[in-house]
Amino acid sequence: MKKPVIAMGVAFLLLVLAVLIYSSMNLTGKRVEVCVSFRGATACRIASGTTEEFALRTATTNACAQVSSGVTDSLACEHSSPVKVTWLK
């Protein structure tokens, strides 16, 4: 009686693992390098995303995290225009 339950549990775990692997393989559709300058400091970061907008936003947020401190500075930096945007293959 326990063997079918265990087999179904293992099959379910394998299915979940397959879905996770498949979905994570499609996350690198777009890659971008963004450079930001904020209060005299400059930082560049590379990010990937399923869309250009998501990749650009992620790279900007990561670069701003290097040159700003606190929530107010982070938001101000993220709302400023990047100094350089380079789309990668």
Cα dihedral sign, 15-51-80-40: positive
Which residue is listed with tokens 């560049």? Answer: 44
State pLDDT tens for residues 10-64. 999 999 998 888 777 665 689 999 999 999 999 999 998 888 999 999 999 999 9
